[in-house]
Amino acid sequence: MTTTTDTTQPLVHAVNVTKAFHGNEVLKGIDMDVRKGEVVCLLGPSGSGKTTFLRCINQLETIDGGRIWVDGDLMGFDDRGGTLHHLTDRQVAAQRRDIGMVFQRFNLFPHMTAIQNVMEAPIQVKGGRKSQVKERALELLGSVGLADKCQAYPAQLSGGQQQRVAIARALAMEPKLMLFDEPTSALDPELVGEVLRVMRDLAKNGMTMIVVTHEMGFAREVADRVVFMDGGVVVEQGPPSEVIDNPQHQRTKTFLSRMRQEEQH
């Protein structure tokens, strides 16, 4: 599992991932494979470990046990004959560059315009030529429907526009994988659609995505697979038509009926 020549290997291969905070085990052995180009929606009640799992994939958290490979690379460690050695900060940073993450809160740099936000990482990290980076940033802002907002500061943009800038910013690093952590949860309802539309386009264009969301319509329409987590374990998974419309486990049924009640309010 160390070469990238095997085209059948999943882009994300997580095996028995565990993570505890102060003795509180939050991930209790998560196994998950995500194929290249696949869109996986991660559902589950608050506190089930969804955010923690995304943060472990992106190495914002160090896992306690198990292993995570992304595109054949073992995240965070060097496997020398079965013994794991921590990678250096520099090596970890290089691995993280291949993974884009979009959070619930947009986290844009407030003192930079939209285009400066999108250009920042490629210029800092890749040392790209400024004219090229700018051209790509314009293209990306265009692709999220914000060609006319390049010079706007975050405070001048709606939440939906800011989140679209945040997506363009993540894409500027040409990631292999995009992680979304409830990207529409902080938005006013009328702004949710414009962000989901951008995500739907990304999926259509073949991006591999793991999306934590409560948007059942999006999950049903865009996800290749839905994974339901509760209490730090994967309870069930499958195509949306099975997991959302015909869940097998009581915990999934309870969660989904609660979601439906909330949607009606």
Contacting positions for Mg ion (CB under 5 A)? 51
Name the residue nearer to Mg ion (CB basis): 51 or 237: 51
The item of Mg ion, ligand ADP, none sharing an interface with residue 26, based on CB under 5 to 8 Å by kind, is ligand ADP
Is the distance from CB of 76 to CB of 86 less than 8 angstroms? yes
Is the distance from CB of 35 to CB of 51 less than 8 angstroms? no
Name the residue nearer to Mg ion (CB basis): 73 or 181: 181
Please pick, from the candidates 17, 32, 41, 51, the single residue that binds ligand ADP as defined by CB under 6 A: 51
Is 205 a binding residue for ligand ADP by CB under 6 A? The answer is no
Is the distance from CB of 3 to CB of 27 less than 8 angstroms? no
Q: Which stretch binds ligand ADP (CB under 6 A): 43-51, 96-104, 132-140, 147-155?
A: 43-51
Smallest distance from ligand ADP to CB 46, Å: 4
Is 23 a binding residue for ligand ADP by CB under 6 A? The answer is no
Is the distance from CB of 49 to CB of 229 less than 8 angstroms? yes
Q: Which residues, other chains included, contact 172 with Cβ-Cβ below 8 Å and sequence gap of 6+? A: 118, 119, 121, 122, 133, 136, 137, 140
Please pick, from the candidates 16, 37, 47, 241, the single residue that binds ligand ADP as defined by CB under 6 A: 47
Q: Which stretch binds ligand ADP (CB under 6 A): 45-53, 86-94, 201-209, 219-227?
A: 45-53
The CB density around residue 4, as the number of other CB atoms within 10 Å, is 9
- For residue 19, give Cα distances in angstroms to 45, 57, 103: 18, 12, 20
Q: How many Å apart are CA 63 and CA 139, to the nearest integer?
A: 36
**Using CB under 6 A as the criterion, which residues of the chain lie in contact with ligand ADP when the complex forms?**
21, 26, 44, 46-52
